[in-house]
Amino acid sequence: MSPHFEPNGTVGEARLRVRYAETDQMGVVYHSNFIIWFEVGRVELLRTLGFTYREMEADGYHLPVVEVKCRYKQPARYDDAILIRTYMSGLRSSYIQFTYEVLREEDRSLLAEGSSTHVVVGPDMRPINLSDKYMGPFQRAMGTP
């Protein structure tokens, strides 16, 4: 199966293996773990762009989640190798949206897809605009000059 999306910009990839503790009594990954995996994908995408969340926070930028969506397609199970594909799907000076695709690596089955919306805030939790240090890489990641 080919990936569900192919954006024009940068796609971050993160890999993990499902731990037993992430599964429920039916042996299926508990639904909230996918939201945690979205964060793993987001963090790795930032690394791909050349910086970390920690660096952004040190520069006074925080990205609280204001909305998250997840559509489950197939179950993930203990010991599955998982691929999280992440890309930026929305960008303004104080707003970022990421889109995610969670695949089982073995057969490239789409397990879940979703998105998260973030507002850029300063240490006082008030909205602020991103500096060029971050807007440039984010714009390039979106496939725009």
Q: Can you list the domains of the chain with their CATH numbers?
A: 12-139 (3.10.129.10)
Q: Exposed, middle or buried, 79 (CB in 10 Å: 0-12/13-18/19+)?
A: exposed
Residue 145 clears pLDDT 50, i.e. is over it = yes
Give the model's confidence band at 11: pLDDT under 50 very low, under 70 low, under 90 confident, else very high. very high
pLDDT tens for 60-89 read 999 999 999 999 999 999 999 999 999 999
- Distance, in Å, from the CA atom of 101 to the CA atom of 112, rounded to the nearest integer, reads 6
pLDDT at 8: 74
The yes-or-no answer on residue 59 being catalytic is no
Average pLDDT over residues 41-69: 97
pTM for this entry: 0.92
Catalytic residue among 24, 59, 107, 132: 24
Average pLDDT over residues 104-114: 97
What is the distance, to the nearest Å, from the Cα of residue 133 to the centroid of all Cα atoms in its chain?
Answer: 20
